[in-house]
Amino acid sequence: MASDLEEVQKVLRTVAEGQAQLLSAVESISQRVGELERSRDGHRQNNPEIDGVGRTATPLGSGFTHTPAAVMPAEAGTRTPPAPSSPEVKSGFSSRVILTTYPKQIGIKPLPLDWGAADPLQRGPVTVSRSASTIGRRNAIGAHGGSYSIYYALALASRELKADHKPDYTNTEPAVKIGPFPQWSDKKKIVAMDPWGHLVPWLFKDVMEKENVDLRPTIAITKAHMKLPELEESVRSGRLVPDGKVCLNKFGELSVTKFAVEPVWYLPGVAERFGIDEGTLRRSLFEHTGGMYPELITRSDIKVFLPPIGGLTVYCFGDPAKMSDPSKRLALRIHDECNGSDVFGSDICTCRPYLIFGIEEAVKEAQNGGSGVVIYFRKEGRALGEVTKYLVYNARKRGEDRASDYFKRTENIAGVKDMRFQALMPDILHWLGIQKIDRMLSMSNMKHDAIVGQGIPIHERVELPESLIPADSRVEIDAKINAGYFTTGQRMTEEQLKSVQGRIWEDIDH
């Protein structure tokens, strides 16, 4: 019986190999034909075809009647990815579009990936590269670069970037050492980033060289100085005292360690955080990105997804090793992006004031021998984006802009008042080795609950001092406090909230 099975397997393998050879022969013939055609008609555009299905290849150049998605099914094998040396790869694009839609396709052999394994070599590297030598080894869905992945596609399409470019990682290694911490191998604690993402080119050097696979870091760590006008003022007024190490000089110049992190999602863990099943998560991601990632549906063997969304940056003041030392105090601000206020100084909200307050308190904690951390998430306008945000502003300013209606305005337009979903946010705290927070510089209940829910206690919550709240942002802050944001002060009644009103557009002399 066993030997019969072995015999069958052997025959199947031979058939598969034969098919691969046949397909690559067909490929090289069609390539020759393509070359001949192109030489006959010099101006003719590349005529891509869809492949990866081992049967019909659909020409795209002849019109727009064929959609690539229509060529998806068929379990059968496909051609093996072209060798890197073949001329079609050198031109940037192969003559056929290669799909990696089915796990049993010929040439599909994902690099082993055991999410949560403590030993990084056993865990294995994450790869989404479509380079000729790696496309069959992909063990994740999506693309590198988060929201910038589309620019990468544009750079290739416009031939600004060579498809076979190999990054040179000389001298790019992390500026400080971090971890590894036990949290890195806890499948429940880290599901939204790759804990080994900062060490990829060095940890997996062997596999990169021996198997010629393209692996890229998803985390980078550097050091910098930063200058902010408000902190210069803090030093001038004596609120902050230069120490020559953290707060460097009389201009309030700061020394900081920065960590940039791109999202890497372990789908079963992400689904669990949201209390939904993995299938629902995959389906929603597939459908609501316009079917951009078919593998979300067809490759249940692949569990990791690099979503096209913004990442985060950690700003650490003081010795980074102190973040994970429970005997040292830690002050933390989790800040979600608000470009209009953070960068351009809009006074309609408290974002920049709270960010600056967070940085100043973080610096003070570091100066006192502890650690101060500010984490900046790219989640513009409560992750609704700036267009929705400005529509809300208009609706507010054309109405009466009362604190009592603040959240209603957003809900009317977006359907929800907030899409930041803090469920995945605590991952970065686990990754930094943070075990408790002494001073949490935030009034948000969602952030508080997410962190505490992940088993990291918060000893003290610190609200934004009254003196730092811009006049026009009273509407926002009072509405938030009324909706349950943390305060040591008074929570207004509905009646009182109605009397908190922002200024109208024309009123600029406030």
Residues labelled catalytic = 418, 420
Q: Please tell me whether residue 355 binds Zn ion under the rule CB under 5 A.
A: no
**Amino acid letter, residue 410:** T
- The rounded Cα 151 to chain-centroid distance in angstroms is 15
User: Minimum CB separation from Zn ion for residue 370, in Å?
Assistant: 28
Which tokens in the block code for residue 452?
A: 């505490």
Beta carbon nearer to Zn ion, 338 or 432: 338
Three-state SS for 306?
strand
The answer to whether the beta carbons of residues 346 and 393 sit under 8 Å apart is no
- From residue 37, alpha-carbon distances to 43, 44, 46, 116, 383 in Å are 10, 9, 10, 51, 49
Residue 68: closest CA among 76, 82, 56, 81: 56
User: Minimum CB separation from Zn ion for residue 148, in Å?
Assistant: 23
CB atoms within 10 A of CB 110: 18
Kindly identify the residues of this chain, within the stretch 360-379, that bind Zn ion according to CB under 5 A.
Answer: none
User: Pairing relation of β-strands 304-306 and 312-317?
Assistant: unpaired
Out of 306, 349, 373, 384, the only residue in the binding site for Zn ion (CB under 5 A) is 349
Backbone angles phi, psi at 39, to 5 degrees: -70, -25
User: What DSSP element (H or E) covers 53?
Assistant: none
Burial class of residue 507, CB neighbours in 10 A (0-12, 13-18, 19+): exposed
Which residue stretch of 135-143, 150-158, 351-359, 453-461 sits at the interface with Zn ion (rule: CB under 5 A)?
351-359
Q: Sign of the C-alpha dihedral, residues 440, 444, 447, 452?
A: positive
| DSSP H helical ranges for 72-148 | 87-90, 120-123
The answer to whether the beta carbons of residues 454 and 429 sit under 8 Å apart is yes
Which residue stretch of 60-68, 80-88, 239-247, 346-354 sits at the interface with Zn ion (rule: CB under 5 A)?
346-354
User: Minimum CB separation from Zn ion for residue 26, in Å?
Assistant: 58
Cα separation, 29 vs 77, in Å, equals 19
Three-state SS for 35?
helix
Beta carbon nearer to Zn ion, 129 or 445: 445
DSSP label of 97: E
Assess whether the previous peptide bond of 180 is cis (omega < 30° from 0). Answer: yes
Beta carbon nearer to Zn ion, 124 or 340: 340
Out of 143, 312, 351, 492, the only residue in the binding site for Zn ion (CB under 5 A) is 351
Kindly identify the residues of this chain, within the stretch 94-133, that bind Zn ion according to CB under 5 A.
Answer: none
User: Minimum CB separation from Zn ion for residue 408, in Å?
Assistant: 18
Beta carbon nearer to Zn ion, 230 or 319: 230
Beta carbon nearer to Zn ion, 270 or 355: 355
Three-state SS for 51?
strand
User: Minimum CB separation from Zn ion for residue 349, in Å?
Assistant: 3
Which residues is 333 bridged to in the sheet? Answer: 374
Residue 80: closest CA among 164, 18, 29: 18
User: Minimum CB separation from Zn ion for residue 444, in Å?
Assistant: 13
User: Minimum CB separation from Zn ion for residue 116, in Å?
Assistant: 36
Q: Please tell me whether residue 71 binds Zn ion under the rule CB under 5 A.
A: no
Site string for Zn ion, 305-344 (x = CB under 5 A): ---------------------------------x--x---
Beta carbon nearer to Zn ion, 254 or 338: 338
Which residue stretch of 43-51, 347-355, 404-412, 464-472 sits at the interface with Zn ion (rule: CB under 5 A)?
347-355
Cα separation, 94 vs 47, in Å, equals 10
Cα separation, 183 vs 195, in Å, equals 9
Which tokens in the block code for residue 252?
A: 């309030």
**Amino acid letter, residue 225:** H
User: Minimum CB separation from Zn ion for residue 386, in Å?
Assistant: 11
Q: Read out DSSP for 160-214?
A: SS-TT-----TT-S-SS-----GGGG-TTT--SS-TTTTSHHHHTHHHHHHS---
Kindly identify the residues of this chain, within the stretch 143-202, that bind Zn ion according to CB under 5 A.
Answer: none
Cα separation, 275 vs 268, in Å, equals 10
Beta carbon nearer to Zn ion, 221 or 469: 469
User: Minimum CB separation from Zn ion for residue 376, in Å?
Assistant: 13
Beta carbon nearer to Zn ion, 198 or 335: 335
Beta carbon nearer to Zn ion, 235 or 351: 351
Give the total of residues touching Zn ion (CB under 5 A). Answer: 4
Contacts with Zn ion by CB under 5 A lie at 338, 341, 349, 351
